Amino acid sequence: MTSPESEAGSDAPESEQNAPESIESAESIAAVSEEYSAENIQVLEGLEAVRKRPGMYIGSTGPLGLHHLVWEVVDNAVDEAMAGHCSLIEVRLLADGGVEVIDDGRGIPVGVHPKFAPLTAAEVVLTVLHAGGKFGGDESGYKVSGGLHGVGVSVVNALSTRVEVEIDREGRRHYMSFKDGGSPDETLREVGPSPTSDDGTPHRGTTVRFWPDPTIFKEGVVFTRKTLMERFQTMAFLNAGLEFRLYDDRADDVEDVSFRYDGGLRDFVRHLNSAKEELFDVIGHFTERGDGEEVEIAFSWNTGFQSDGIHSFANGISTTEGGMHEEGFRSALTGTVNRYARSRNKLKEKDDNLAGEDIREGMTAIISVRLGEPQFEGQTKSKLGNVSVRSLVTKATNEKLAEWLEEHPKEAGLMVDKAIQAQRGRIAAMKARQTVRKSALSGAGLPGKLADCQSKNPHESELFIVEGNSAGGTAKDARDPYSQAILPIRGKILNVERARPDRIFKNTEIISLIQALGAGIGEDFDLEKARYHKIILLADADVDGSHIRTLLLTFFFRQMRPLVEAGFVYVAQPPLYSSQAGRSKVYLKDDPARDAYKAENPKAEFARLKGLGEMDASELQDTTMDPELRTLLQVTVETAVKADEIFAILMGEDVESRKAFIQNNADDVRFLDI
């Protein structure tokens, strides 16, 4: 998203008289506030622009945009924390649908704003686009802004039916409110002393309460607790020592949560590794400052085989598409580790260099950069484009990682040995892959047990991956041969979470899958070549079926991620119950559906459908395969970090965290009943 420039700001008339820098008495604030009508009109035009095209400012008016409002307010508080003035941010989801964000920062300044006099700074922050913390100039310490896209709290005001602001500064509490998208309701005034804590010090900080406008957010104005929790946890990791608390007044039975990590990025790495077996118990860490930019990196290795454990952020925003900071880190990591391995004679003269992916195997790293004007590029605007960041990160990594390796010979040794094994595995995998490719080219292109569809148009072609040969047979009879292909999978496929790549390419079930899809695998995977745009996993509703689904999903996520990201992967939902209704049968997908049916047909009797194997072709067609009648569940990836965590827990080594996860998420069908 390009940053929209504020019209109201630049065109606002300069005040004739010289406004004092700050006015602290209640009377004078009230006096100036009453006469701000001319500026007020300018200001409202600015906010009106936001209401006309909200998407330009917050991305969308769907759930993401709605949550963006919270990020915008919270980011201002995080800015305060980064400037060293705020240690606690409390967010409360109010029973009436509003949100309250309380911080213990300096409080938005309440004096008259030098440029927008007679408006006070607080009024400017709430009503002028982009005013944010920028006007503070150098002495405010706002060189680096964490603001999501830096649009500011005024955008929240523009898109809310009501906003209330409380500011505690220098022992006095100030209050103002707005309505209908930013019209002043009560202008800024002092309302009394700030409340004091037990030791007598007055509270300091800003409270913003807002109620999103349902005429703007037509899909609804209900905040998702989980979304907020995940983001606050990430922000807490990225800002060591800063505490986030989340309260939910909308329901009685939810617990308050709080996040605070004094170890910052180190704790983040430890957290991501917690479901994995660590290669050693040390987390590397370094920081570096450049011209108006800073980088902080923490890293460690686990014994696993994934090489996608690097996560990066710019100004607290997840850069899932990578960018200059990641590029700098990856190349400096590869260079530095190779130099180290050679200097220690772990790599001999004749040996090939370790590849980046060899070194990154099992690595978990967090790269966090802060800079004045981040350029977000790429399809989802989550790729950092600032070239200067690459040199800073490269320099930092070259110097400080080399130092770390020298200072940690034991850990460095374990890591290099692992990378050398990864290199061997990679070469073996390459050979295995060539064999797979050859067999794919040599006419034996499609696996023998695939019953392909007639259509060669991927848009209308579906591939059912069916558990077991007998169910596969039924599915073949039940399908529409024009558009539906069937690939039976025997038993349980290899758990790719716990296998080195070379084993993956020797597994016959996996080879059939790769051949059937025809789009390659891993780094070579090419979504354009996918032969089907619906891949439907069809397994029983029981524990075994659930395990097979998870194994398949792990495989798709690790080895064919674009397929999942494109939304091509689905889970079929065969019904659990049937009931005879006269001459025809009614199918009911789960317990709630059965209960609802029973409520309407009290005499109905139900048969529990045990497995796919027990259905005949026409039953399977009616319940699961016919596009008109079936229900499919589309598989989506939330954030890569989250998905990574979940798969590591579900499929990885650590039994304890798997148990804990299953207990904690027993009622969350997204994870268990997939």
Q: Is 96 tagged catalytic?
A: no
544 is catalytic: yes
Residue 125 sits in the site that holds ligand 0RA (CB under 6 A) = yes
Instruction: Say if residue 550 is exposed, middle or buried (CB neighbours under 10 Å; 0-12, 13-18, 19+).
Output: buried
Span of 2-10, 101-109, 485-493, 615-623 interacting with ligand 0RA by CB under 6 A: 101-109
Which of the residues 544, 590, 626, 673 is marked catalytic? Answer: 544
From the candidates 540, 619, 644, 645, which is the catalytic residue? Answer: 540
**Which token pair is 450?**
């695939």
If the CB atoms of residues 70 and 221 are measured against ligand 0RA, the closer one turns out to be: 70
Give the x-and-dash track for 191-230 against ligand 0RA (CB under 6 A): ---------------x-x----------------------
- HEC sequence for 30-85: HHHHHCCHHHHHHHHHHHHHHHHCHHHHHCCCCHHHHHHHHHHHHHHHHHHHHCCC
The residue whose two tokens read 């790599």 is 347
Cβ neighbours of residue 165 closer than 8 Å, sequence gap 6 or more:
108, 122, 126, 175, 176, 177, 206, 207, 208, 209
> Using CB under 6 A, which of 46, 54, 65, 109 touches ligand 0RA?
109
87 sits near ligand 0RA (criterion: CB under 6 A): no
Q: How far apart are CA 429 and CA 305, in angstroms?
A: 13
* CB count in 10 Å sphere of residue 186: 14
Residues β-bridged to residue 383: 377
Nearer to ligand 0RA, 106 or 231 (CB): 106
- Compute CA distances 496 → 91, 507, 673, whole Å: 40, 10, 20
Question: 3-class DSSP state for residue 423?
Answer: helix
Binding flags for ligand 0RA, 46-85, as an x/- string (CB under 6 A):
---------------------------x--xx--x-----
Give the residue, chosen from 54, 98, 105, 181, that forms a contact with ligand 0RA under the rule CB under 6 A: 105
CB under 6 A: which stretch of 23-31, 98-106, 327-335, 631-639 binds ligand 0RA? 98-106
Residue in the structure block whose two tokens are 């034996």 = 444
- Tokens found for residue 288: 């570096």
CA 556 to chain centre: 19
Set 72, 164, 293, 467: catalytic member: 467
Among 3, 22, 140, 507, binds ligand 0RA (CB under 6 A): 140
Residue 106 sits in the site that holds ligand 0RA (CB under 6 A): yes
Report helix angle 265-273 to 640-651, nearest 10: 40
Shortest distance in whole angstroms from residue 84 CB to ligand 0RA:
12
How far apart are the C-alpha atoms of 9 and 151, rounded to whole Å? 13
Half-sphere exposure at residue 255, Cβ-oriented, CA atoms within 13 angstroms: 2
Contact 39, 116 (CB under 8 A): yes
Q: Which residue of 108, 156, 367, 537 would you call a contact of ligand 0RA, by CB under 6 A? A: 108
Q: Specify the stretch interacting with ligand 0RA by CB under 6 A; choose among 9-17, 99-107, 260-268, 633-641.
A: 99-107
Concerning whether 256 is annotated as a catalytic residue, the answer is: no
By rule CB under 6 A, what count of residues binds ligand 0RA?
A: 16
**170 vs 352 by CB, closer to ligand 0RA:** 170
Q: Where are the beta strands (DSSP E) in 376-444?
A: 376-377, 383-384
Shortest Å distance, C-beta 434 to ligand 0RA: 58
> Cβ distance 301 to 359 under 8 Å?
no
Q: What share of the chain is helix, strand, coil (3-state, %, to 5)?
A: 40, 20, 40
- State the nearest-atom distance from the C-beta of 17 to ligand 0RA, in Å: 23
- Choosing from 46, 133, 304, 575, the residue that interacts with ligand 0RA (CB under 6 A) is 133
Cβ distance to ligand 0RA smaller for residue 191 or 672: 191
CB under 6 A: which stretch of 20-28, 104-112, 172-180, 437-445 binds ligand 0RA? 104-112
Looking at the Cβ atoms of 80 and 361, the one nearer to ligand 0RA is 80
Binding mask 142-161 for ligand 0RA (x = CB under 6 A): -----------x--------
Does 493 help bind ligand 0RA (rule: CB under 6 A)? Answer: no
What is the number of H-type helices and E-type strands within the chain?
24, 23
Residues of this chain that bind ligand 0RA (CB under 6 A): 73, 76-77, 80, 103, 105-106, 108-109, 125, 133, 136, 140, 153, 206, 208
Q: Which residues are catalytic?
A: 467, 540, 542, 544
